[in-house]
Structure 1
Amino acid sequence: MVKAREVTSAREARAIVEERGLSHVKVGLFDIDGVMRGKYMSRAKFLSSLEKGFSFCDVVLGWDVKDQLYDNSRYTGWHTGYPDAPVRIVPQSCRDIPFEDDMLLFIAEFAGRAQALCPRAVLRRVVERCRTLGFDPYAALEYEFFLFDESPESVRKKGFRHLKPFTPDVFGYSMLRNSVHGELYREILDLGEGMDFPLEGLHTETGPGVLEAAIAVDDAEAAGDKAALFKTFIKVLAQRMGLMATFMSRWSGEYPGQSGHIHLSLRNRDSGDSAFFDADQPDGISRTMRQFIAGQQRLMPQFLALIAPTVNSYRRLVPGFWAPTGANWGVENRTTALRAIPGGDQSQRIEYRLGAADANPYLALAAALGSGLYGITQQWSPSEPISGNAYALKLDQGQTLPGTLWESTQQFKQSDAARELFGSDFVAHFAAGREWEEREYRRHVSDWELERYFEII
């Protein structure tokens, strides 16, 4: 009998569906914002699509997280009539859905012209570039997320205010919390094992109801799938248990934001050893690793829109809340945007600490990996590593990060490196979506403005 995570081909995908006697299969793909969109597909349609692909309305590439249509997209819109776009099923993405009996889930991705805009395909192209340069990339993402004792109905009834966190007060690394609520933790751990995004660690963070989960390392392309599925199905699991999870970058002004740190390493394809480790260099940091850091550092302001893609993202990037505020780096320094982690041949790596929980995992990973590779090809050198509190130091020229979504989007639009790495069509489309997002924000009047200006001004 074929097991879900042993499927590697269309033939094996067909076999597992037929062995289970499934009448329908669940198929999903990820949009620009990293939201999984999908449907149940009849067995006959699914089996046909394994060989020939199928069509999916391209509107999912032309709307925002609230299903509002972009008014500035060249690729799709009212001017194109929102036609279907070709989609291919990825057989090796087959997974069991633990709470749906024998139901199977397959990831799909856009093909044809739409492939240029597909987030999963963007990451795959960067991974292919990495392999062409002689390296195999490995990655692991870790996420912070808040849990609330709320439902989709209750949060709307409350206007998303005065929400009840799953647990009270601040209590990082709490053995009390994870023991009292052991059933929930067990469900999360089992979900990760069952859907192949296994967790190396799961613990409370500092804040009411906030958890941090570290997904196990894998090759970069698979790591993107694992992270995207983790974010989707943690929210599913929470709601099934009468809770709600949010990966919003910062939901409250009283607490730190939610990170989505990215750990990256390269291994030489010819020898299999670490491209980042050199025993003869300080902290074991090889020349390749230094160039990789330099690329990440220099392109960080240009690529910030991929890492911080929402208006809310910039609420997190402020001093004193454990989020980086400049394009800098240090060795084992958690106040910098890039943390070099010495670890010998097996675990020498870089932690891209700028990453936030609200980013599309495929695009955040493509930005972190692609910028490092660009530094290697350009043979760049990084600044001197920072020791001590990076927040207290004046930023050098070129290390200042854009302060708003609009500013970061303009830098992304003008980036030659972005067009080379991700393609001109993707850069134009993604930038249009971010400009739309910022304009939607400016159309609305906030409670802060009313409280501040209504009577006094």
Structure 2
Amino acid sequence: MSVTDSPVDALLESGLRMLITSIVDNAGITRAKTVPAARVRTAVRDGIGLSPVFALMCADDAITSSPLVNGPVGDNRLMPDLGAVAPLGPDHTVFWAPADQLTQDHEPVDICQRAALRRQEARAVAAGLDVKLGFELEFTVFTGDPGDPAVGTIGPAYGVLAMVKLEDFAVDLLEALDAAGVPAEQLHPEYAQGQVEVALPPATPLAAADQSQLARLVVHRVARAHGLLASFAPITVAGFVGNGAHIHFSASLDGVPFGGDDGPSEHARQLIAGVLDELDGLTGVLAPSVVSADRRVPGNWAGAFACWGEENREAALRYVPGSVTSRPDSANCEIKIGDPSGNAYLSAAAVLAAALTGLERKAVLPPGLDRDPATYPDDERPRRLPLTLEDALSALERSAVLRDALGDAIVDPFLAVRRHDAESLGGLSLEDRVRALRWRY
């Protein structure tokens, strides 16, 4: 039995009947290819064909253009990563694996977003860092017809009554996440009606991004089994607080922890400062939909202002010291600006690139804010992050740090896709933009 055969045999013996393998494209949408059990061995050996033009697919499924992608010409291979394979439920019949994009000669391709994150993770290891990321994912539960859905709960915000109403769904979801190897750290109703948050365990950067995609798929699958609809769109109901995809990051450096009783350590301050310096461009990566700016407003705890603060949920960067009983291991920095329309692999890669640049440059972290940024006088208030999608994309386009890290072959098609979305959907009313994206994510 070859090394390649061994994990495949284990999957088949466990009961696998179907393998879903997927990528996340530049529109933040998960695109998948599926093979039956009889073809898994071949798929793992040879890969599965995928046109490079998937890098140019937009939120409305239109295909835009970029000089760096040769339209319909060419072919890549999707290579399932069986190191991250997981069952989508306790019955172990349907499995999922993230895919790397390779050439037909099985060489890396420069448009692969997962490879971009792998490069930044290797850069962090080379710098002596032990980085951990954790995703908090918010989603909305609906009942009824997709064309005219109703929110699954009507509050109260964070209320136990909402949890009780979703109890059967929640229990099965926790069981399915456990079976998938992504045990939830928390699951609770959020502020908006029908809104739920699931917190995933910290992991190495690539594993954390994989976990975020796996958890989203599990949520959709369990919701469907309960006759519910789930949406990870940034805004699912116009006028409601939107869904975030918050990234918590921490890193020890040569054994020195990220923080302690006196706040962030020296290297943590440099890492946070690096992210702070790149917030405008990061907004273009982490919150790139035509409704993202509508979510990122003061009062929504969505990081509307370019600042940081200890336990400050209105700052774009929230330093979390953690409970006195869990320090220093629990110290981390939460990035509030992200939402689920971003590509988790690009989001994590961009955050790592900015943080590592701060470490390399020994960036200086300014004083943190100890109250709501909106309450400061005009001459002391921190600046707002980009108010429009185009402003955020232009900031990304100008960022040498992010462009160098992600590469032109990712950044330029990404900008083309997101600008197409802005042109095709941006002129619609908020209600129509929300409707257009509700079932994309």
Q: Please confirm whether the aligned pair reaches a TM-score higher than 0.5, indicating the same fold.
A: yes
The structure with the larger Rg is 1
Cα 1:24/1:250, change in 2 over 3 Å: closer
Q: Deviations over 1:390-420 (max 9, x none)?
A: 1222477984421111111111112111122
> What does residue 115 of structure 2 align with?
121
Consecutive unaligned residues in structure 1, runs of 5 or more? 1-8, 450-457
Q: Distance in 1 between matches of 2:389 and 2:370?
A: 29
Q: Distance in 2 between matches of 1:65 and 1:18?
A: 35
Question: Could you tell me which of 224, 228, 233 is aligned with 2:213?
Answer: 228
Q: Distance in 2 between matches of 1:389 and 1:250?
A: 23
* Paired residues for 1:33-112 under 5 Å: 33-43=27-37, 45-70=39-64, 72-76=65-69, 80-98=71-89, 101-112=92-103
Question: Could you tell me which of 207, 216, 236 is aligned with 2:192?
Answer: 207
Question: Could you tell me which of 325, 329, 338 is aligned with 2:304?
Answer: 325
Bigger drift between 26-35 and 395-404 goes to 395-404
Q: Distance in 2 between matches of 1:253 and 1:230?
A: 25
Consecutive unaligned residues in structure 2, runs of 5 or more? 434-441
Q: CA deviation at 1:43?
A: 4.4
Is the counterpart of residue 167 in structure 1 residue 160 in structure 2?
A: no
Cα 1:196/1:17, change in 2 over 3 Å: closer
Is the counterpart of residue 437 in structure 1 residue 421 in structure 2?
A: yes
Cα 1:196/1:80, change in 2 over 3 Å: same
> What does residue 298 of structure 1 align with?
277
Alignment partner of 1:229: what SS?
Answer: helix
> What does residue 4 of structure 1 align with?
none
Letter in 1 for 2:111: L
TM-score normalised by length of structure 1: 0.85
Q: Distance in 2 between matches of 1:121 and 1:299?
A: 21
Contact 2:114-2:345 at 8 Å conserved across structures: yes
Letter in 2 for 1:365: A
Cα 1:143/1:448, change in 2 over 3 Å: closer
Q: Distance in 1 between matches of 2:177 and 2:364?
A: 39
TM-score normalised by length of structure 2: 0.88
Is the counterpart of residue 371 in structure 1 residue 354 in structure 2?
A: yes
Instruction: Calculate percent identity across the aligned residue pairs.
Output: 25
Cα 1:396/1:302, change in 2 over 3 Å: farther
Letter in 2 for 1:65: A
> What does residue 191 of structure 1 align with?
176
Question: Could you tell me which of 388, 394, 398 is aligned with 1:404?
Answer: 388
Q: Which has the higher contact order (CA 8 A, sep 6+)?
A: 2
Q: CA deviation at 1:127?
A: 0.9
Cα 1:422/1:446, change in 2 over 3 Å: closer
Cα 1:445/1:105, change in 2 over 3 Å: closer
> What does residue 146 of structure 1 align with?
140
Q: Distance in 2 between matches of 1:427 and 1:128?
A: 20
Contact 2:87-2:179 at 8 Å conserved across structures: yes
> What does residue 277 of structure 1 align with?
259
Question: Could you tell me which of 215, 231, 236 is aligned with 1:251?
Answer: 236
Q: Distance in 2 between matches of 1:75 and 1:397?
A: 41
Q: Deviations over 1:285-339 (max 9, x none)?
A: 2111111111111100122111111011010111222222111001111121111
Q: Deviations over 1:16-53 (max 9, x none)?
A: 14424756533222222332222332445431332343
Q: Give the total of aligned pairs.
A: 423
Q: Distance in 2 between matches of 1:147 and 1:395?
A: 42
> What does residue 316 of structure 2 align with?
337
Contact 1:326-1:395 at 8 Å conserved across structures: no
Contact 1:314-1:404 at 8 Å conserved across structures: yes
C-alpha root-mean-square deviation of aligned residues, in Å?
2.5
Is the counterpart of residue 384 in structure 1 residue 363 in structure 2?
A: no
Bigger drift between 352-361 and 224-233 goes to 352-361
Q: CA deviation at 1:217?
A: 1.3
Q: Distance in 1 between matches of 2:288 and 2:385?
A: 14
> What does residue 436 of structure 2 align with?
none
